[in-house]
Amino acid sequence: MTRAAKTKLAPGERIRALVVDDSVIIRRLVTHALGEDPNVEVVGSAANGAIALKMIPLVKPHVVTLDIEMPEMDGLETLRHIRKSYPDLIVIMFSTLSERGAAITLEALTLGANDYVTKAANSGSLDQSMARLRGELVPKFKQFFSLGPEPAPVAPPRIASTPVPVRAPWNKPRTACHAVVIGVSTGGPPALASLMPMVPSDFRQPILIVQHMPPVFTRLLAERLQTLTKLRVREATQGMAVEGGNVYIAPGDFHMKVARKGTGIVIMLDQAEPENSCRPAVDVLFRSAADVYGASAMAVILTGMGRDGLRGVEKLRATGSYVVAQDEASSVVWGMPGAVVTAGLADSVVDLRCVVPEIQRHL
């Protein structure tokens, strides 16, 4: 699912939220956390999907927070009904940090959920729980909306999406590509699922991916992507050799880097401080790729909230690397690629369907 642009709210209008969870405690917690933000208004709550579907036409929410496991009608079934009757309604899933929760969340993203938030099993005090929800859930609401007056435009106009790649002039000498590094966040799993079947089975370069996701989720993402390609897809581990024709997913809660070891290149993992509030962070991978591969790395920045990847792209571009950014029209959220495009660092800005053809064209 793609969103062409942020929803622009009228002056004084707040983001209307419907909270759906079978736990009374969670409903109250989420309602209080959201209600403390002046840009958000909780217009209702429901104990299961069946009740939520009846409430939607009455309270007309902009966003629904949707628990996965509920009686009578669970989150996935509710999501299917919402996507059929309200295709533009934003849905944010509530997931547990478990293998089952991760698997169902990935399925929900495939079915059209816009994003997700994980529930901590033991999140500490009520104040800590509230702070965590405010810090994680509210930004996920706001990423889909344009709040308040638009600032005066300072960036060059975006390149419109077309079925054919739209390329910025490339005046640098071509360098053989030895690796493709990809950064992605919100909207990433469906985007990667669209890309992987398009990569030819004889692709010779390694592909290294940072997708903002917690532990367990990244392993299951790798397993899902493996079903879509003949390339070998793995969640990266410490010291793993980087080889052509392999796809490496950064594991949740670990930064992933590449480093030289003898005549080869290996994966290095660490739990250094988060960057851009992320671990793994795209910037970390991209900086290391610039150090190891230089101009022979190709960077791809896909849909996602925030600016993670921008500094890494700056370093890659300084070495002479080619940079591909997903366009706004095909992005769920045009934060990460938009930051790169606005900074004038993208050599090519293309529709998601054209990312792999663009990589092959440059190769």
Question: Catalytic residue positions?
Answer: 185, 212, 308
Q: What are phi and psi of 254, to 5 degrees?
A: -130, 135
Provide the sign of the torsion angle of the four alpha carbons 290, 186, 351, 361, taken in this order. positive
Supply the DSSP symbol for 2: -
> What whole-number distance in Å separates Cα of residue 110 and Cα of residue 220?
13
Neighbours of 144 (CB within 10 A): 21
Q: Name the residue among 119, 177, 132 with its Cα closest to residue 322.
A: 177
DSSP-based three-state secondary structure for 52:
helix
Strands 232-235 and 207-211, how do they pair? Answer: unpaired
User: How wide is the angle at C-alpha 355 spanned by C-alphas 351 and 357, nearest 5°?
Assistant: 115
| 125 alpha carbon, distance to own chain's centre | 29
Strands 232-235 and 7-8, how do they pair? Answer: unpaired
Neighbours of 24 (CB within 10 A): 10
Supply the DSSP symbol for 352: G
DSSP-based three-state secondary structure for 313:
helix
Neighbours of 28 (CB within 10 A): 13
